[in-house]
Amino acid sequence: MGPSTVDLTTELQCGTCASYVALGGSCNPIVTCDPPNGQCSSPDICDPAIGACSPNQVVCVEYGDVGVACSSPTTCKVGLTCVANKCAPFPTKGEACTEYCAWPHVCASGTCADAVAIPTVGVGQACGIVNGNSVGCEPGVQCVYSGSGSSGICTAPVPKGGACTVGFFQCAVGYLCISGVCQTPDYTLCK
């Protein structure tokens, strides 16, 4: 696929439909953009119903079952992960882990343990990592980060007509940021 043009003043993006890459075909799931000229590469995506792009081989491979060689968790069947380059079930409570565990457990200090509920706060309150603890926002409210810090402020979605910044998806459901204002997108522009 060739490059496509991106309008950097709007969150409404148009594209061209294309077929998925077949098993064994060359794939590249990464989209790269050059902001000054608005050019983006198109991804070559494997059919998600049958497989994934192997990061090491850059070819579409069938999802692996338990014991099948893997290079990434994305190449294993749902419910499995990649451990020591083989598809395997996620570790469970009390078992060693490096990153993920079987739900509802979490990897804490290298061992799967019971998950602890993350407290939530309302609009205007600190969220993210606050005093060393994870804090979420109430439903319908998002944590908006400023700079490179690990904490932010819970912020209500911007209503139609409100000011916004393209690329931050701050607008209420059903609206997109177009030229700095939350608006109803005009999908007829996509032809």
Q: What is the pLDDT of residue 57?
A: 73
Model pTM score = 0.50
Q: What is the pLDDT of residue 7?
A: 61
Tokens of 158: 């911007």
Could you identify the residue written with the tokens 């794939």? Answer: 27
> Which residues contact residue 51 at a Cβ distance below 8 angstroms, ignoring those fewer than 6 apart?
23, 60, 61, 62, 63, 75
23-81 pLDDT, tens digit per residue, is 999 887 665 665 555 555 566 788 888 888 887 778 898 999 999 998 888 889 988 98
Q: How confident is the model at residue 3 (pLDDT cuts 50, 70, 90)?
A: very low
133-191 pLDDT, tens digit per residue, is 788 899 888 888 777 778 889 999 999 999 988 877 788 888 888 889 999 988 776 65
Domain segments of the chain as ranges: 120-189
Three-state secondary structure call for residue 75: helix
